[in-house]
Structure 1
Amino acid sequence: MKLLIIDDEKLTREGIKDSLDLEGLGITQVFLEDDGIHGLNTALDKEADIVLTDVRMPRMNGVEMAEKLLEQRPSAVIIFMSAYSDKEYLKAAIKLKAVSYVEKPLDMEELASAIQEAADSCKARSIHRAAALAHEKEQWNHLTMLLMEPEQGGLKNLDALIRELDLPISPSTWFAAVLIDCLAPVTELPEHAVSQLQGDLNTYLAKVDLAQIYHIHGDRYITIFLYSSARPRDESIYSCALFIREIMKNFCPFFISVGPVVSGAHKAHLSYKEAEEYLKTGFFHEYGTILTYREGNEVFRPPSDVMMDFTFALTNRQEEKALALAKQLFTSVKPSQMLLPSHVRDIYYRYLSKLDEIGLSSYVSLWQKEGLDSESIWEGVTGCTILQELHNLLCAKLRLYFERLRQGSRENPVVFQVKEYIHKNYAVPSLSVPDVSQYVHLSSSYVCTIFKNETGQTLNQYLTDYRIKMSKQLLSDPRYKIADISSKVGYSDGNYYSKTFKKLVGLSPSEYREKMLS
């Protein structure tokens, strides 16, 4: 709590500060000023909660200062001090609802009591204000929910809320819904992002004779109902969406959708539902696109099926042809917004799987399968939010495949098969060199020799390293017990697993987990 002491006598204001147990009174910051003008500026600038002010001061007396302060900061609590038993000042103090009026020379116990009373008053006001704000916020949220989807009997509730919030909304008020899909949790945006959006938008809307009702839900979607007494032009609503886009582009990837203009609060949900449908097409567009009604009936055309030619281009090492076919697939899918994103992801998964299959047959691995950075095709596909990212993923993997072929960076076929077998079977406690040798149809001594020559590790060293890497990944998830992790990575003896882990990592599994999760 902040206390401002105003007195034209330096010894008085500093003496008060030094004599009182301000910390015990709940005061965390103290400011000192020498007259009413300086006091007013500091009270407003520092947002003082309690103002202890002398009455008689040069330039501006305490009563005048308090009057001006309370006009701009009505929550401030005033305590007057005076060396004179002046009834007029006392009347003014009562009129301003000052908490207390103490006479000079000051009695420190009396002053401490007055400040304690002021602090209690501040706390009570703060609690009351917080409760009022919470209630008002709840009302606004309820209002927005009713505008989005009227509940049974909700139209009466909607009208009642509009009256209670004293909004200039009548049956003839026009509405348009604007939805923002933030592709990052709203709670993870910079602290000022949401307040800036709401404040700047309010300023902009005032210039175009529009108002807003604003709501965040699902920690992802921001719904804004624009409304006006006169029917706004569609261009005006779209301009608002452009204004929002300029603000949002600084904070996160997003889409904006705009519903049609409708008449009456009871029909606002129709605009919202339309905007919600437009938002579903965001997958087929670039981030930041404003999605709205599109004229004309779309004719469904199935995506190009170029799998046979794609396979031929890969097996015959025709890079430009493979990339051209990927572009053909992309352009055939992009305008077809009658497809579901899940369907498109399935299509791209099939093409990436075919690429992976042919890569493995050439002993080229395109997906990192070891340690904490391990990947999978499906994770890559589901990690793409828009179609363009899926296309970029396919093209990137194609280029990587052909680049590795050109560089001759293919692994030795035997080593490649050995690693693949270990990656699939590392969790089997009995996995041994003979098992691996039998899989590649070669003798154990030959497999061990060639693996050591190619990798610099013995086969058992590689298996141990891989098991420990995979156990690190499991240790980063607190849902798994350490005893269970050891068996999941192929260790039947938990103590042996712990010793091996500490030898390689320098920490015990429990110490490693604590470090990871701290």
Structure 2
Amino acid sequence: MRLLIADDDDYTREGLSESFDWDKYGIDEIYLAADGAEALRIATAKKPEIVLTDIRMPKLNGIEFAKRLAEKSPDSQLLFMSGYMDVEYLKSAIKLSAVEYIEKPIKLSEVERAIDKSIRSLANKQQQTAVVKQKNELVRQKLAGMLRDEHVDKAETVRLCRESYFPADQRYWGIMIWNRLEAGDGYADLQLMLQYWQDNGMQAIGDQLDRRHCFLVLASDRHDARKLSSLCDLFLKRYEAYSISIGTAANHLHELPNAYKTAMRAMEQAFYSADRRVFHYIEADRMPEDHSHEKVLPEFYRVRMQSPEQMLDFIRSICAQFRMKQSPAKERVVTIFETIIQGTTGHDQKQLAALDSEYGIPDVEHYLRECRTLDGMEQLMLAVCSVWIEQTQQVAQYSRLVQEVLKYIAANYRNVDLDLRMIAEHMHLSTAHLGLLFKQETGTTIKQYISDYRMDVAKKLVAGEHLKMNTIAELCGYASASYFAKVFKASTDLSPIEYRRKS
């Protein structure tokens, strides 16, 4: 807290500064002024919370200084000192809302009482200001949300503008600001954004749409696209995590829903333009609807059946096609890739576990939906298809009959009762005949293959650190967690917990 003592008497000025333990009041900065003009310069620069000033001073008397102080530092608490207790000075002090009037010769006890009173007054004012500020912020956030809705009551929006001191008769911009980082929480700090625009001369209100996205309404006396663009660029230089999309300008409050819609459309460009960070909505640049993506899935099924080794080139090719045409919309791309994931890894826990252990992707479909750019989705799909190709190549060396057995085991290994008999019944073969054919081609028995398959999946799940051991036991087809732990240690010489720690 800052204190300014203004008095032309050196003894009084210096004496007051040294007569108190100011730290106990929370005052850690003390400024001294020998006349009213000097006091005004200091107050303008330092904005002291408490000003203890004499009334009769050279250059600028205390009353004139106090009037000017109200303009330069309106939150300062005034304490007047004077040996001249005439009525006019008292009236002036009252009009200027002085906290206290201390008569000279000064008694330290009276100064201490006046300082106590000032600090209490400051605390009450700060508390009231905080409550008003919090209420105002809530009203402004509600207003920003309403201004996105074209069906909202216009009279109500005007009322909230007045209540929150947001202009209802200026020109506006609607912009989206979002956290573009793929990694981490990616939180978008609405208060940081609002403070930035207000510090740069634009009144702003905002709505936190979710953790990553905020919608802001900026008010200006005119539409200055160059100034807006310059401020956007400066914001992005300061804050590397963010991107901005700018909708159409609005001349009235009721045009802001369209500004919001166009800002959202401009934001869609970010999916295809990972390197850009500011996006403008321009109607003429919107490309006609393209339907070529409808051929992607039929082509995927053809490649999967006829040329699985070409799957990586297929993924790169369709991503290049999407990128060139800037189409389709992100939601449609997600749907296409979800279908490809189901057609490759599907619910094959062995492949999913490999994605987790080799690429750090514990939940592939969730990861897909969280990707914010086509580049990120392409990398994910290449990982998915690499794991699928590896397994496909391992299976391709066997006869069609053995391949069917391997597929059946991959689909049913979680069933505790899975064994040679169940597989033979499914294949309509005798257990002896099926067991012999399988052993001849693979060099191992079906029972051993099931056991190895389960253990292979279990190792990847244990190393992934995402699941509890009893859950892993259930996912891998073991009758109980204790039996799983016993089999796991027999296979690895480590308990599941030790294996996880070592991994």
Give the corresponding residue for 1:269. Answer: 257
- Between the aligned partners of 2:136 and 2:352, the Cα distance in structure 1 is 58
- Counterparts of 1:30-45 in structure 2, within 5 Å, are 30-36=28-34, 39-40=39-40, 43-45=43-45
- Between the aligned partners of 1:181 and 1:356, the Cα distance in structure 2 is 32
Deviation at 1:224, TM superposition (A): 1.9
Deviation at 1:54, TM superposition (A): 4.2
Which of 328, 337, 340 does residue 317 from structure 2 map onto?
Answer: 328
Q: Measured at CA, do residues 503 and 351 of structure 1 come closer, stay the same or move farther in structure 2, by a change above 3 Å?
A: closer
Give the corresponding residue for 2:377. Answer: 390
TM-score, normalised via structure 2 length: 0.65
- Between the aligned partners of 1:280 and 1:392, the Cα distance in structure 2 is 20
Stretches of structure 2 lacking an aligned partner (at least 5 in a row): 392-397, 399-408, 419-434, 487-493
Residues 159-202 of structure 1 deviation map (CA, whole Å, 9 limit, x = unaligned): 444566677655xx665533334447786549755422343362
Residues 128-181 of structure 1 deviation map (CA, whole Å, 9 limit, x = unaligned): 3334434443443444344322556x12223444566677655xx665533334
> Contact (CA 8 Å) 2:148, 2:257: kept in 1 or not?
yes
Q: Does 1:216 align with 2:203?
A: no
> Contact (CA 8 Å) 2:352, 2:362: kept in 1 or not?
no
- Counterparts of 1:358-507 in structure 2, within 5 Å, are 367-370=354-357, 373=360, 375-395=362-382, 442=444, 469=463, 473-474=466-467, 491-492=481-482
Deviation at 1:393, TM superposition (A): 3.5
Deviation at 1:291, TM superposition (A): 4.2
Q: Percent identity?
A: 18
- Between the aligned partners of 1:364 and 1:160, the Cα distance in structure 2 is 58
Find the residue that maps to 1:34 and give its secondary structure: strand
Q: Give the letter for the 2:32 counterpart.
A: D
- Between the aligned partners of 1:503 and 1:328, the Cα distance in structure 2 is 44
- Between the aligned partners of 1:30 and 1:81, the Cα distance in structure 2 is 22
Residues 203-249 of structure 1 deviation map (CA, whole Å, 9 limit, x = unaligned): xxxxxxxxx553232242222255657xx5xxx54773564244235
> Contact (CA 8 Å) 2:458, 2:472: kept in 1 or not?
no
Residues 346-372 of structure 1 deviation map (CA, whole Å, 9 limit, x = unaligned): 323455666769xx9xx9999443499
Deviation at 1:502, TM superposition (A): 8.3
Q: Measured at CA, do residues 484 and 28 of structure 1 come closer, stay the same or move farther in structure 2, by a change above 3 Å?
A: farther
Give the corresponding residue for 1:13. Answer: 16
Deviation at 1:12, TM superposition (A): 1.2
> Contact (CA 8 Å) 1:284, 1:337: kept in 2 or not?
yes
Q: Measured at CA, do residues 291 and 132 of structure 1 come closer, stay the same or move farther in structure 2, by a change above 3 Å?
A: same
- Between the aligned partners of 1:46 and 1:124, the Cα distance in structure 2 is 22
- Between the aligned partners of 1:486 and 1:6, the Cα distance in structure 2 is 79
Give the corresponding residue for 2:245. Answer: 256
Q: CA RMSD in A?
A: 5.5
Q: Measured at CA, do residues 299 and 463 of structure 1 come closer, stay the same or move farther in structure 2, by a change above 3 Å?
A: closer
- Counterparts of 1:33-112 in structure 2, within 5 Å, are 33-36=31-34, 39-40=39-40, 43-55=43-55, 62-82=62-82, 84-87=83-86, 90=90, 92-112=92-112
TM-score, normalised via structure 1 length: 0.63
Find the residue that maps to 1:29 and give its secondary structure: coil
> Contact (CA 8 Å) 2:463, 2:499: kept in 1 or not?
no
Q: Give the letter for the 2:177 counterpart.
A: I
Q: Give the letter for the 1:377 counterpart.
A: V
Q: Measured at CA, do residues 371 and 68 of structure 1 come closer, stay the same or move farther in structure 2, by a change above 3 Å?
A: farther
Q: Does 1:119 align with 2:119?
A: yes
> Contact (CA 8 Å) 1:179, 1:224: kept in 2 or not?
no
Give the corresponding residue for 1:180. Answer: 177
Q: Give the letter for the 1:244 counterpart.
A: C
Give the corresponding residue for 1:478. Answer: none
Q: Give the letter for the 2:208 counterpart.
A: H
Moved more, 380-389 or 102-111: 102-111
Q: Measured at CA, do residues 35 and 62 of structure 1 come closer, stay the same or move farther in structure 2, by a change above 3 Å?
A: farther
- Counterparts of 1:133-144 in structure 2, within 5 Å, are 133-144=133-144
- Between the aligned partners of 2:104 and 2:471, the Cα distance in structure 1 is 75
Deviation at 1:74, TM superposition (A): 0.8
- Between the aligned partners of 1:139 and 1:90, the Cα distance in structure 2 is 41
Deviation at 1:77, TM superposition (A): 0.4
Give the corresponding residue for 1:207. Answer: none
Which of 300, 303, 311 does residue 290 from structure 2 map onto?
Answer: 300
Give the corresponding residue for 1:158. Answer: 157
- Between the aligned partners of 1:186 and 1:49, the Cα distance in structure 2 is 39
> Contact (CA 8 Å) 2:244, 2:277: kept in 1 or not?
yes
